[in-house]
Amino acid sequence: MAKAKEFGVVVYGATGYTGRLVCEYLNNQYGVNGDVVWAMAGRSQEKLAAVRDELGIPSDVPFVVSDASDYSSIVSMVERANVVLTTVGPYQLYGSDVVKACAEAGTDYVDLCGEPTWMHEMIAAHQDAAKASGARIVFSCGFDSIPFDLGVYFLQQTAKEKLGGPVSRIKGRVRAMQGTFSGGTLASFKATMAAAAKQPDLISVLMNPFALTEGSDGPEQPSGMAPIFEEDLNSWSAPFVMATINTKNIHRSNYLLAHEYGRDFVYDEMMLTGPGDQGEAIAKAVAEDKSMANDPRKPGEGPSKEERETGHYDVLFVGANTAGDRVMVSVKGDKDPGYGSTCKMIAESAVCLLKNPEAASGGIWTPAAAMGSLLVDRLQANAGLTFAVE
């Protein structure tokens, strides 16, 4: 274990919609005084107490009062924690100081970020400090991008066993998904679009699949932006809204893993809509759907407990090498992706860092590159995810 600080994990944003779910999960899974000592953090002691009581969490769970607009309170919070788990987004509005403070203090960090322009900026600004301090900063520890990032990692480990080496081409295909995007995800999407409108140079970051690989690039990648019929899968495929962030994280994982997937690695991500005229019609409707830009939900708004519990997802990964040998794996989750599963994934990511100080050195990481099989095992044991060879 890392040198113990006052708290193993501090949940920053504990009174928000997703933060509450994380606290509920940690309480149910680890208790309050078990081997994971965790605390609830937010702007208001009164609000923290109200949420704690509402969730039925024991009264001895510690509180940390910290406000994104007061840097000294952020520094104080970070210095008391082994790992800061933050759900306070959009991160480009409220997250930069938390990353800075963690990178300088040597405190590990996990978030739910799906904001590639901000991540690009944070890597440039804080990678050196994190390396020097030993802080392991891990972005995108929710539905974006754990099932995809770890799904590709799991497929490549399987390919090494079955085929004797990694595959150069992987398709990520969402077979089924029930659940809604969070108000926070929508706010992040809108904040990214607003930032790009003000700074047109950010558009090149959004469009570049290698935007997070620090100057390293690779072969041309499929755009995934138009419906296609895929003979090998006997299905139409439609654009998948989260592909723009997931693909960037997966290429960053390959970069951080010293190009373990190969320098010629090609990856794209789409949603299967089925064969025939119906499959084609659904794929075209998905491609033309612009409802996300006009969705009125705000951060902190989300589905009912029943909707979270009945949600699920199933993602297929199909890998092929240059000889045409194929490997297929799947990643499935037992709750709605945006909340029920995400709160478990980020909580287990934080606990994985806490319990495995040897998992990675200081720096800015992806889940697969930092934690790999350690996190796959934790998610299967505790968080309702299934990684399977098909």
Please state the three-class secondary structure of the chain as a single string.
CCCCCCEEEEEECCCCHHHHHHHHHHHHHHCCCCCCCEEEEECCHHHHHHHHHHHCCCCCCCEEECCCCCHHHHHHHHHCEEEEEECCCCHHHHCHHHHHHHHHHCCEEECCCCCHHHHHHHHHHHHHHHHHHCCEEECCCECCEHHHHHHHHHHHHHHHHHHCCCCCEEEEEEEEEECCCCHHHHHHHHHHHHHHHHCCHHHHHHHCCCCCCCCCCCCCCCCCCCCEEEHHHCEEEEECCCHHHHHHHHHHHHHHCCCCCCCCCEEEEEEEEECHHHHHHHHHHHHHCCHHHHCCCCCCCCCCHHHHHHCEEEEEEEEECCCCCEEEEEEEECCCHHHHHHHHHHHHHHHHHHHCCCCCCCEEECHHHHHHHHHHHHHHHHCCEEEEEC
pLDDT higher than 70, residue 2 = no
CATH 3.40.50.720 residue spans of the chain: 7-143+341-385
What is the layout of strands, in order, in the sheet containing 385-389? 228-230, 235-239, 266-274, 169-178, 312-320, 326-333, 385-389
Per residue in 16-26, pLDDT (tens digit) is 999 999 999 99
pLDDT higher than 70, residue 119 = yes
From 175-189, 228-242, 363-377, the region with the lowest mean pLDDT: 175-189
pLDDT for residue 3: 62
pLDDT for residue 32: 82
Superfamily name with CATH number, domain 7-143+341-385? NAD(P)-binding Rossmann-like Domain (3.40.50.720)
Per residue in 120-151, pLDDT (tens digit) is 999 999 999 999 999 999 999 999 999 999 99
Per residue in 292-329, pLDDT (tens digit) is 767 777 766 777 888 888 889 999 999 999 999 999 99
Confidence of residue 181 (pLDDT cuts 50, 70, 90): low
CB neighbour list of residue 172: distance below 8 Å, 6 or more residues apart:
148, 151, 152, 243, 246, 267, 268, 269, 270, 315, 316, 317
Q: How does the average pLDDT of the chain come out, rounded? A: 93
pLDDT for residue 194: 82
Model confidence, pTM: 0.95
pLDDT higher than 70, residue 1 = no
Per residue in 38-84, pLDDT (tens digit) is 999 999 999 999 999 999 999 999 999 999 999 999 999 999 999 99
